[in-house]
């Protein structure tokens, strides 16, 4: 093979390698879902509908899962002063995994007027999978504690998953392995096997894989340039 042809072949191989890396990027899909809540409050039953946005970003050996409420839910007959209300919730796992993930957040940063829908702060928890495959995250029960009382809000419309992550378990465990543990408190759900996960966050993975693809292309171009110069030197 002539040097020009070899150079072209190496450049094509580098381009294909970079494309293969990008095509191998794990999938992450999120939807804003409407959740119809039935809230059992100290003064009776109340109903509320709130769109919820869910996001997953890799954090250490797991994923930080965050729930964001677009509208307030329930209300209080009296004003809730700053820091008087503490929210928490559960997320149902589905697909390749099962169980629940507890999420929590800070108390209210500002006073909430009486008879006003309570805006829930962003709630988050850490999920560490033990199974390989697509895992879904669906909004579950919301709990609001304020002034010594507890309000429990339960979804009544069987909401669809708000987030789907394509994850790989440590050691490449299949979906037939043991399920992740469930917890009703704290801020994490940890699988029995645990382990290091690949980069699969929707933004972080694109950056990391794009960088790797660029490195492959630069390496191929450098090799092709070296062979071309070597061929020119040999012909002299």
The mean pLDDT of 159-184, rounded to a whole number, is 63
In which element (H, E) is residue 212 found? Answer: helix 204-235
Task: Determine contact, residues 52/31, Cβ cutoff 8 Å.
Answer: no
pLDDT of 92-107, one tens digit each?
A: 999 999 999 999 999 9
Strand 188-190, strand 123-128: pairing: parallel
Q: Model pTM?
A: 0.64
Q: Is the pLDDT of residue 215 over 50?
A: no
Q: What gap in Å lies between CA 126 and CA 215, rounded to an integer?
A: 32
Q: Is the pLDDT of residue 214 over 50?
A: no
**pLDDT score, position 184:** 33
pLDDT of 53-67, one tens digit each?
A: 999 998 877 899 999
């Amino acid at each position: 093979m002539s040097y020009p042809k070899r150079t072209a072949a190496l450049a094509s191989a580098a381009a294909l390698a970079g494309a293969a890396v990008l095509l191998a990027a794990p999938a992450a899909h999120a939807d804003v879902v409407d959740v119809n809540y039935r809230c059992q409050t100290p003064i009776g039953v109340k109903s509320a509908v709130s769109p919820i946005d869910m996001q997953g970003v890799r954090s250490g050996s797991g994923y930080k899962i965050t729930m964001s409420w677009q509208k307030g839910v329930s209300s209080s007959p009296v004003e809730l002063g700053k820091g008087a209300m503490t929210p928490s919730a559960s997320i149902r796992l589905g697909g390749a995994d099962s169980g629940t993930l507890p999420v929590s957040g800070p108390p209210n940063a500002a006073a909430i007027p009486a008879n006003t829908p309570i805006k829930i702060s962003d709630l988050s928890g850490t999920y560490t999978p033990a199974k390989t495959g697509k895992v879904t995250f669906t909004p579950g029960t919301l709990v609001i504690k304020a002034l010594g009382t507890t309000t429990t809000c339960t979804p009544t419309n069987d909401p669809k998953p708000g987030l789907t992550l394509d994850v790989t378990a440590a050691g490449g465990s299949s979906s037939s392995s043991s399920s992740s543990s469930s917890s009703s408190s704290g801020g994490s759900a940890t699988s029995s096997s645990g382990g290091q996960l690949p980069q699969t966050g929707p933004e972080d993975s694109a950056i990391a894989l794009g960088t790797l693809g660029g490195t492959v292309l630069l390496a191929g171009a450098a090799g092709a340039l070296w062979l071309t110069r070597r061929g020119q030197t040999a012909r002299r």
